[in-house]
A and B are shown apart, each in its own frame.
Chain A
Amino acid sequence: MAWFNKPKYGLKAPDHRTEKPKGLWTRCFNCKEIIYNREWEENLRVCPRCGYHYRLNSKERIQLLIDQGSFQEHDKNLSSVDPLGFENLGQKYQDKLIQTQKKTGLKDAIVTGTGLIHGIKTELCVMDFSFFGGSMGSVIGEKIVRAIQNSIKQRIPLIIVSCSGGARMQEGVYSLMQMAKTCSALTKLADEKILYISVLTDPTTGGVTASFASIGDITIAEPNALIGFAGPRVIEQTIKQKLPNGFQSSEFLLEHGFIDFIVGRKELKNQLAQLLHFFS
């Protein structure tokens, strides 16, 4: 990504897969074309030139999927503690949490609640990469479990939109156990024959992919998302060779049989509504 280092358009180089670019225009991470930010925003953060899907935060995702004004958030105030007393270079996890909460306005890396999708009442969980890389600790596990319980109680379908780097190492084995906790809760939803749709977005890796995200009744993905178990760098180090192009992309998963289909962001809500309608 040599262009990152060239200041020739007077652009700094934010990784706007994650961060919103400032100013009037920006350069696409994928096709390197210049895009007007307004055009890009209006296109739901999909590059109008090449179709590259950039990350949405939880608020944008909910806006995209839920009928206006119908979202009711649950368990808004559940927040992480620091069960291990984890410190990194003198910075306490606890303090980093508080900082991140202030910066993002979120309590943790997931928002859960109920809302209407083209009029169909749905339990929705949306992960947010801007909070500790969307990593899963105790709060995410608990909120997903509560969402599942609410799905069962109200007999409404469940959709989880994943966007996560995996388990949150600052919470140690507590984080690891959330994989078992969420999968265990999903068995109850399955017993009740209530639909669970897993939506994979860029990126979904590690302990999230290796738990609830991979076992939807229907599992779908946005285009060009990075989805996998091990991180690409870890694999490269292990096998000591470069990974092929497109490895661990949505398209790769579709080819190998692990997702039902890929759906572009513009069509996502309609497709979900169609599924919800069919299974209702």
Chain B
Amino acid sequence: MAVELGFEGSVIEMDNQIKELAALEAEGDVSFQLEIQNLTEKRDNLLKEIYNNLTPWQIVQVARHPKRPLFSDYIDGIFKGFIELHGDRNFGDDQSIIAGICTLEEEKVFIIGHQRGRDMKDNVKRNFGMPKPEGYRKALRVMKLAEKFNKPIITFIDTKGAYPGIEAEQRGQSEAIARNLFEMSKLKVPIICVVIGEGGSGGALALGVGDRLLMLSYSMFSVISPEGCATILWKDAGRAPEAANALRITAQDLLSFGLIDESIEEPLGGAHRNPELMTQTVKEILITQLKGLKRLSIKRLLDKRYEKFMGMGQMFKE
């Protein structure tokens, strides 16, 4: 079943008409090619117009779309020979983060990312993509392994945030996140981070410190969820659309601030409409970015990473 986005208006209707025509054509001997072509063109024009003018809150809806490609889809679509590595060697194996080894074309790489579930059952197993400390510690353990064997790291970010719960606090959610920020800023291998859906606060950043931070064009990255911000400011989560606007959480805004390095264009109508094209685009960009980073000496790489973060901030310096 198609999931409707309110702002897509008559796009959904046209989608259904196209599907019906195709079904009719398959049944009988009448050709609807021309009609289908015309309708498809009309729909695509409408999609283009809508998606060129999305509000931040609409982008949040796309970023959270239930059909949006997940980290596992990128693993399947981009990498070969993936072997998952489990556990933090201390407490457990947090399934809201997947880590492992694989190849990107000829290149051996480590990949780590937030994993949400596709359905309710899967989401329970994945804790809705919200890691506990052992998830971040697993990520760090695997990143250290990458450093030891001198292999690049690619991270995929897609989380509402680190899990806010009793056990998470008992096991040191803060320390786990802080430790990752500290260690990632000095890991002696190239690190590329890609926000594929929701980049929720510290829980997202804990996989986001690297040489490149890329965002899909309809993903979001924020210090607090729009709902959380609206609740604090106006005691009304219903005003999240205004908060989404105020917080400047889109790839376009963050690129203009110089806080991310690149916005990756999504297929027409968002990644969920064409996951194959999306993964292919991300693959090509990862190959290009990695090539660029591998040209740098480790010292230069780390100096540039350091300078990048030191430059982040806006203030009056009297």
Contacts and interface: CB of A to CB of B under 8 A. Distances in A.
Contacts of B233: 88-89
Interface stretch (A39-47, A56-64, A138-146, A269-277): A138-146
A81 B317 CA distance: 10
A50 interface: no
A209 interface: yes
Nearest to A248: B169
B313 A183 contact: no
A125 to B, nearest CB: 16
A252 to B, nearest CB: 8
Contact of A174 (B163, B310, B313): B313
A152 B252 CA distance: 37
Contacts of B205: 176-177, 179-180
B7 interface: no
Contact of B169 (A142, A145, A174, A235): A235
A78 B316 contact: yes
Contacts of B162: 210, 229-230
Contact of A230 (B164, B246, B247, B257): B164
Contacts of B208: 180
Interface string A212-236: 1111000000000000111100110
Contact of A145 (B173, B174, B234, B310): B310
Contacts of B228: 234
Given A183-B178, A186-B182, A138 B257 contact: no
Contacts of A142: 313, 315
A84 B233 CA distance: 16
Interface in A233-262: 234-235, 238-239, 243-244, 247-248, 252, 256-258
A139 B222 contact: no
A119 interface: no
A40 to B, nearest CB: 31
A228 B174 contact: yes
Contacts of A83: 257, 314
A206 interface: yes
A20 B201 CA distance: 33
Nearest to B209: A180
Given A183-B182, A215-B175, A247-B169, A138 B310 contact: no
Contacts of A248: 169
A214 B175 CA distance: 5
Interface string A57-100: 00000000000000000000111110110111100000000000
A79 B18 CA distance: 57
Contacts of A213: 174, 178
A207 B310 CA distance: 17
A88 B206 CA distance: 29
Nearest to B313: A138
20 contacts: A83-B257, A84-B246, A86-B246, A142-B315, A169-B247, A173-B221, A173-B223, A176-B222, A181-B310, A181-B313, A183-B182, A187-B185, A210-B178, A210-B206, A211-B202, A215-B179, A229-B168, A229-B202, A231-B164, A247-B169
Interface of B: 162-166, 168-175, 177-179, 181-182, 185-186, 201-202, 205-206, 208-209, 221-224, 228-229, 232-234, 246-249, 254, 257, 259, 305-306, 309-310, 312-318
